[in-house]
Homo-oligomer: A and B are copies of this chain.
Amino acid sequence: MTNQEVLIVGMGLMGGSLSLAIKERCKNFRVTGVVRSENSKKTAESMHLADEILLDSSLSVSFPWGNYDFIIFSTPVDSVIRYIPMLPKSGKTFITDLGSTKKTIIDAINRHFGEDHRYLSSHPMCGSEFSGPAAAKVDLYDQKLCILTKANSTSIDAYDFIRGFWEQIGCWTLDMDAKEHDETLAYLSHLPHIISTLLVDTAIENETVKKIINATDKPITGGGFRDMSRIAGSNFEMWLSIFRENQTYVYESLLKYRDQLNSILEDFSNGKPLEETRLQSLWNLAKEGKKKIQKANEAD
Contact = CB atoms under 8 A, between A and B. Distances in A.
B188 A203 contact: yes
A44 to B, nearest CB: 17
Contact of A258 (B205, B258, B270): B258
Interface residues of A, number: 109
A2 interface: no
Nearest to A276: B240
A90 interface: no
B201 A260 contact: yes
Contacts of A170: none
A152 interface: no
A256 B205 contact: yes
Contact of A209 (B131, B187, B205): B187
Given A228-B192, A244-B274, A262-B258, A233 B286 contact: yes
Interface of A: 125-132, 134-135, 144-145, 147, 172, 174, 176, 179-180, 183-184, 187-189, 191-206, 208-209, 211-213, 215-236, 239-240, 243-244, 247-248, 250-251, 253-258, 260-262, 264-265, 268-270, 273-274, 276, 279-280, 282-290, 292-296, 299-300
